[in-house]
Each structure stands twice: as C-alpha cells, then as structure tokens.
Amino acid sequence: MYRSVCSLILLLLGGCACTTHLPPKADITMPDAHTLRFKGDTRIDDVKRLLAVAEDAPEPISRLVITSAGGNPTGGMMLGEWVHKQQIELEVSGICAGSCANYIFTAAKSVKVNADSVVGFSGGAWQQHWDKPWYTFLIPDADPHKCLSVVEWRQRESAFFRHIGVREEITIMGQVAPFNQQLSGKGLWSYQAEDLSKFGLHQVYFAAKPLLQSQVQILQFTPGALEDYLASSRLQQGAAP
C-alpha cells in the first residue's frame, strides 16, 4: 500500500508540466477579411495560433469576436497586448471571464457585449486569498497561475495595466471589503458602464438580458466610494492593496 501511494505521488509529480493535460484547442476562424473569431481558453499556444492567423491575413484585422471563460493569464496578456497595439474592436459573444475579462476586455479600443452575453471578473494577481487545496500542486494545469510565480504574475500584470492605461484594481474589486459582501456566493462580478469609465474604460456598450446574470453580480457603489478606493489604493505603486 505504501509503495502504491508513493508511486502515485511520483507519477503525479512527474506529470506536472505546463504542456500536459491542456484544455481543448480554441476554435479560431475568420468570418470576414477584417474579423477574427476566438472561442476557447487563453492557452499560450492558442493565442500564438491566433496571432499567426492575424499576421498572415490579407487585410489588417480590426475586430475580434471572443468567447472565453479565461485560462492562462500569460496567454491572456499576450492577446491583450496585441488587441491594445492594433486598436482592436472587441465583441463579446456568450462570455468573457477570468483572464479574458482581465486582459482582453480591458485592452480593446471599444467593446460591444452582445445580448445574452456577459463579462465576468474573478480575481487577478493581487487577490488576497488563493484558497488552493494542497493537491492542486500535484495536478497538472490545476494552478491558475499556469506556471507563473505570484511575484512574476504581479510584476507582469502591473506592467500590463500601466501600458494600457487601465486601473489594475478592476481585477479585484469583488474581493475587496465592503464590496465583496454583494457577491452572495456568486463567483463572477462585473460593473456598470459608468463605473468602468472610472477604471479607464470609456467605450463599452452592453446589450440587455445577460445570459449568465444569475452567476454574475453587477457591483454597486455608493456615490464617491469607488473613487475614494481608487484614490487610496496602493496598486499604482506596485504594493498590496
């Protein structure tokens, strides 16, 4: 029995590589000469495939239609950097959550969130509580950092948000007291358009009837509360909030 347990642990440890047990490949298509459609996780390999398609496109890509529940933050930032550099117009179809919300939604020139679609934030590099069970360190790809240390993730994320001109606090507000009391067990949160502008996002257009409204809490702020928090936040100096 002891030998079997040890063998299982060694097998798990031996398999803990960033390239194993990956989610299915993203679906990448071109509906027209100026549009890319991306459906899937923000895996680094899939982001590289999308960028290669954009590079080989006969006409410049100006629009990205995305459906993604998130995934690898490094892949998310890679795609977000391209979206920002190319001044891409983003269209959310279904869901844009996790690293999609953090790094792609925030980086776009403008965003249209389709009817029956949602944007959902769930935390970022500076969230205060990880609550990761011990066994996630043995299971390949279970770590949401996807092979980034917390220090490396924070450094890269902070540099990313400084570059795109958006407040990094957008990734953690649903976990900050007293705003976190609004979640009531929901795993995702989002913002009203007028509050998004206070983080630096000014061209976001929401259609009605979110598809996953029951899973996403739209945060509400009393007058001045969000502004006061952002004014006192230490994230701009790269310190814990």
pLDDT digits (tens, 9 = 90+) for 209-225: 555 556 789 999 999 99
116-166: pLDDT as tens digits: 899 999 999 998 765 554 444 444 454 444 566 788 889 999 999 999 999
Q: pLDDT at position 70, please? A: 93
- Exposure of 86 by Cβ count < 10 A (0-12 exposed, 13-18 middle, 19+ buried)? middle
Residue 240 has pLDDT above 80, yes or no: no
61-120: pLDDT as tens digits: 999 999 999 999 999 999 999 999 999 999 999 999 999 999 999 999 999 999 889 999
Q: What are the two backbone dihedrals, phi and then psi, of residue 66, each rounded to the nearest 5 degrees?
A: -125, 140
Residue 195 has pLDDT above 90, yes or no: yes
Output the six-digit token pair for 75: 């892949």
Can you tell me whether residue 210 is helix, strand or coil?
A: coil
Q: pLDDT at position 149, please? A: 76
Residue 239 has pLDDT above 90, yes or no: no
Can you tell me whether residue 111 is helix, strand or coil?
A: strand
pLDDT category at 236 given cuts 50, 70, 90 is: low
Phi-psi category of residue 25: left, alpha or beta, with phi > 0 → left and psi -120 to 50 → alpha? beta
Q: pLDDT at position 184, please? A: 83
